[in-house]
Amino acid sequence: MTDLAAAEKLLDNTTASGTLRLRGLTKEFGNGADKVVAVDAIDLDIEPGEFVTLLGPSGCGKTTTLRMIAGFEDPSGGQVTLDDVNMIDTPPNKRPMAMVFQSYALFPHLKVRDNVAYGLKIRRTPSAKLREEVDLALESMNLSALANRAPNQLSGGQQQRVALARAMVMKPRVLLFDEPLSNLDAKLRERMRIEIRTLQRHLGITSVYVTHDQAEAMSMSDRIVVMNGGRVEQAASPDIIYRQPASVFVADFIGRANFLDVEKETSTQQGRARVKVLGHSVDVPAHPDAPAAEDVVLLLRPESIRLKAVDTRAGGGLGGHEGRVLFSVFYGDHVEYEVETEHGTITAVVADPNVDAIHREGDDVEVSFNAERAWLLPRTRQPG
Ligand SMILES: Nc1ncnc2c1ncn2[C@@H]1O[C@H](COP(=O)(O)OP(=O)(O)OP(=O)(O)O)[C@@H](O)[C@H]1O
């Protein structure tokens, strides 16, 4: 585990975390027919101490954005400012930022201690101060006992801790992370998520984190920036991203989603709408653009759907509420169902299932959902 007291002592309150602003940040690669707009005029404000994650599918531009913040990539247009100072003409090693890479990027021929000391040596830090700060950085990452090892004598997790110590020792105002946990196994990844987040929160260092792993983004971030095709689809807290996504793309990318074709009846008060769904007229929360949209879909997360056994012999019908179980899979902590309904096949997840009450293939069920957890969206994103 990290030693928060040592980390705090290392930073010694001298490190004011920074306000990072991206304005119209753009990167084009190639030209003519080969031109790729990797990052397309991004605006983003990151507050001091905030942990912001750039998330999105492969090729959406998150790494290029991070590299422009760090200075490893020159923007084709736009600005990166830190505390209102334009960074564009400042080389990477002069920016008060430090980056942690997926590949750790340690010097293989240097011992752990010398890897951590490297940046301070370049800065010509006096040797007593250098030793003290390297010791604190090693201590803060619980690496003191490994100080004299070479990187290839360490596990992946330990190597990543060295990379973190090396970043911390520079006392950056901004920490940048480029998929730092991707090379670790699942258990270690989960532990490191908590450690990085605890350390970051405790020290309050502004952080920008790139990942394509949504669980990582959800569990670590103050704010998630979902990118698509070089643009920002939505920048919001994890709960807003999950519950009130700005677009079908975001809803589909984060978590699992059922999209039901529904008829809009009336718009009620601001932020809500009445729709006809599963045979009923239901008042649901709605995206601000949904009331005016021609075509809407209702987002239902699998865990907000309820299934109840129906005795079809009783007759009477359920006014469209019924569905038929296509299959169910028991996972121990939850059961997953595919259910055929008048809106097509939907996925339902029931947590902590009562094993005797699991619906089987072919069973008729009453389908309902928690209306406050539903979310009405325009089918296509409104421009701007
Ligand atoms: N040096 C380069 N030359 C040409 N095109 C590039 C270069 N670097 C990135 N690109 C292109 O820019 C786009 C964005 O790439 P980027 O690496 O930023 O995406 P990403 O979201 O980080 O993807 P991944 O998750 O796969 O790393 C992609 O279409 C990519 O092919």
Spelled out in words, what is the top-level CATH class assigned to the domain 256-378? mainly beta
Q: Bridge partners of 274?
A: 266, 283
Domain 4-243 and domain 256-378 have a common topology: no
CA distance linking residue 313 with residue 11, whole number of Å = 71
pLDDT in the model for residue 136: 86
What contacts 375, CB < 8 A, 6 or more positions away?
243, 244, 245, 251, 284, 285, 286, 287, 298, 299
pLDDT one-digit tens code per residue, 302-352:
999 999 988 665 554 444 468 999 999 999 999 999 999 988 999 999 998
Distance between CA atoms of residues 288 and 270, nearest Å: 8
d(CA 365, CA 41) in angstroms, rounded, equals 49
Alpha-carbon gap, residue 277 to 261, rounded angstroms = 8
Question: Could you tell me which CATH number the domain at 4-243 has?
Answer: 3.40.50.300
Residue 74 backbone dihedrals phi, psi, to 5 degrees: -85, 130
Give the pLDDT of residue 382: 54
Domain segments of the chain as ranges:
4-243, 256-378
Q: Provide the ipTM.
A: 0.95
| CA dist., res. 345 & res. 324, Å (int) | 9
* Pocket probe mutation, ligand 1, options 22, 31, 35, 36, max atoms within 8 Å of Cβ: 36
Angle at 13 between CA 9 and CA 14, to 5 degrees: 110
Separation of 230 CA from ligand 1 center, angstroms?
9
Nearest protein Cα to ligand 1, atom 3? 29
Q: Confirm or reject: Cβ of 21 under 6 Å from ligand 1.
A: no
What is the pLDDT at residue 317?
Answer: 47
What lies within 8 Å, CB to CB, of 122 at 6+ separation is 93
Q: Which pLDDT belongs to residue 235?
A: 97
| Mean pLDDT split into 10-residue runs, the chain, 384 residues | 74 74 96 91 95 95 96 95 92 90 84 90 86 88 88 87 89 91 87 88 90 92 96 96 96 94 78 88 91 90 92 53 89 94 93 86 92 93 55
